[in-house]
Amino acid sequence: MEQHRVILNPTQFQLVIRRLCFELIENYDDFSNAVILGLQPRGKYLANRIALELHKMKAVVSPIQIGYLDVTFYRDDFRRREEPIVPGKTEIDFIIENKKVILIDDVLFTGRTIRAGLDAMLAYGRPEKVELLTLIDRRYSRDLPIQPDYVGKKIDSIISQRVQVKWKETDNKDEVILYTPKLKN
């Protein structure tokens, strides 16, 4: 059995999303040259939520371009895990040449997914600049020198623990939970 602890409850969750949006507004002004890329599968929900919130705040002049990037074919653990991962869908109907890209994922852990994401992104052009936004940063657990520019919440965790981000759209509730496996005596 696993023990679990709520890291962000629905109220805190909403506050964090709004804060992330304010931080983005400070740096991107009216978002005229910015695009949002959510990493499949779970970064998509955060990307959608951030875009929605920015529109609600009337921070953007025209609808912000949003795409979803699947990194499966760029992963470095192909042939090193038991089963190949079933790829998600890449949906990017614009070119990111000279755009400012806000790369979004829900949880930053080892940094390997982001590394793959940076590679995958280059198939769509050379961006002017890329920044990384994550809801949860599991700090001190990076395998690669990758750090986020915008963080919802930093947490200290060990490898055997697991973080789950729940979304209203799919899990009926906005919530972040940290699961800890029970030690065997």
Partner 1 sequence: MSKLSTKHLLGIKYITKDDIELIFQTADNFKQVINRPIKKVPSLRDITIANLFFENSTRTKLSFELAEKRLSADVINFASSSSSVKKGETLVDTVNNILAMKVDMVVMRHPNPGAAYFLSKQVDAQIINAGDGAHEHPTQALLDAYSIREKYGEVKGKKIVIVGDIAHSRVALSNIFCLQKLGAEVKLCGPLTLIPKYITSLGVEVETNLRKALEWCDVAMMLRIQLERQDKKYFPSLREYSMLYGLNKELLDSLGKEITVMHPGPINRGVEITSDVADSNQAIILDQVENGVAVRMAVLYLLAGKKVD
Binding site for partner 1 (CB under 8 A): 70, 72-75, 78-90, 95, 119, 122-125
Q: What DSSP designation does 41 have?
A: T
The CB-of-37 to partner 1 minimum distance in angstroms stands at 14
Burial label for 105, CB within 10 Å (0-12, 13-18, 19+), is buried
The CB-of-14 to partner 1 minimum distance in angstroms stands at 34
The CB-of-67 to partner 1 minimum distance in angstroms stands at 12
Dihedral over Cα of 5, 42, 61, 31: its sign: positive
Radius of gyration of the chain, Cα coordinates, nearest whole angstrom:
17
2-8: strand order across its sheet: 2-8, 175-181, 162-166
Residue linked to tokens 């025209």: 62
Residue (22 or 78) nearer to partner 1, CB: 78
The CB-of-53 to partner 1 minimum distance in angstroms stands at 29
Residue (2 or 76) nearer to partner 1, CB: 76
Q: How far is CA 169 from CA 41, 48, 116, 174, in A?
A: 14, 11, 26, 9
Residue (13 or 124) nearer to partner 1, CB: 124
Residue (81 or 182) nearer to partner 1, CB: 81
Residue (58 or 81) nearer to partner 1, CB: 81
The CB-of-123 to partner 1 minimum distance in angstroms stands at 4
